[in-house]
Amino acid sequence: MPRRPRPAGRLRAALTAPFTPRALAALLHALAAPALALPGAVLVLMGLAVGAALSWTTFGLWLLALTVRGALALGGLQRAMARVLLGESIEPAGRRTAPGLFGWRRALLGDRAGRRAVAAALLAPLTALPPLLAAVLGYVYGPLALTQPVLRRWNHLTVRDPDGSVHHVGVLIHGVEFDSWPRWTVVVAAGALLLLLAPHLVRRAGAPHRLLLRALLGPSAADARIRALEETRAHAVEDAAATLRRIERDLHDGTQARLVGLGMQLTLIRELLTRDAGRDRLLATVARAQDNATRAVSDLRHLVRGIHPPALDEGLATALATLAADAPLPVALHTAIAHRPTPALESLAYFCAAELLANTVKHSAATTAAVEVHGDGRVLLLSVRDDGRGGAVPGAGSGLTGLLGRIRTVDGTLTCDSPPGGPTVVTIRLPYPAAPDGTARAR
């Protein structure tokens, strides 16, 4: 079980929070973002204004195209700065291309990504200023207030009274001067609080700016959908090719070799019969041929089971019951399927459950597992739970990445809850088109 941090460690972490690399990187972004956004907005606005005024000429159209290109370049710098300093990875939006110089201009002026980049350039100063103000409040006024008793000799106002006398005023709020130790404690406490909360203030104030960058400089919903479809299509093609290669390899290395051996043994049997060989030698050859034939049939059954388990002909519930019974550890199964899904969805759900149970056996050191399937005619939910050591993460070699790519071909989703020490719960959500002859299946 992970050890909890000690109170002294938590206090040290709170005191050093404003000066951690992450907090200082966010501070640098808060200072640099307005310095990039303000001149960029001015240049884009000037380019649009002059280009629109001269749009009836060729020069005006070229100026508008260059302005859009500049906005795209500015957006690239803002994305890079957000990625380096904030760890905010924003994929670039898809852009139109066309051959030739005039095609380049036409693509820029008609590109939706260019118009969104222009909007981001004009709106960025509005969202980049709040983080700067928060940084000034926390990292400037916080230390000033915290060190006011030390800096009061220099950090003061000179006030001249009506009688001509001059005196110095330190912190003055609503006519109350904080010029003594009992009152200085309020200023010092306020400064310490502002400094400690500075990273939180900067992060909260920068949320609108990050949202603006993601919304206008990243791919649109349509672009993201197209990219997801392209990725899932490529994965489906690769998966089908890998399946065909596996079938070919299994047939070549297993079944084909056994059938060749069976043919050779049958030839040997014929030669033994023509030479009137001994009965014992003939029976031994027949036994070897029979064993080869039995193994070839077993290999073919195993191969067919890997393509389409025969138990799926009886429905997903029956196939999962067979899978749970063959598992090397106790598996509790509960299925509640209102209407039978399509054969393709049944096969996908079955192989997902088989892959998750195989991962459980190989990686989790679990002693028990549970499989639950619920289908209401709209969504099919498959959940596999084990009592293993946990720590499963998609993309970390656990086999979940390939499974995620497979279910995305049907717009499915995968969630994995696997804290260190367990338990691990993997839930797969699949769209649920019912089969034409949908029948109730529950167990």
For 380, the token pair is 């099919």
* pLDDT, tens digit (0-9, with 9 covering 90-100), for 105-134: 888 788 888 888 899 999 999 999 999 999
Angle 389-391-395 from CA coordinates, rounded to 5°: 140
What residues in the chain have per-residue pLDDT under 50?
1-3, 157, 166-169, 172-176, 436, 438-443
In Å, what is the CA distance from 420 to each residue of 141, 232, 436?
Answer: 42, 31, 44
Q: Which residues contact 59 (CB under 8 A, 6 or more apart)?
A: none
The half-sphere exposure of 218 on its side-chain side, counting CA atoms within 13 A, is: 16
Report the interhelical angle of 58-86 vs 21-53 (nearest 10°): 170
pTM comes to 0.55
CATH 3.30.930.10 fits 312-442, yes or no: no
Q: Pairing relation of β-strands 331-337 and 369-375?
A: parallel
Give the start-to-end residue ranges of the domains of the chain: 17-156+183-215, 221-307, 312-442
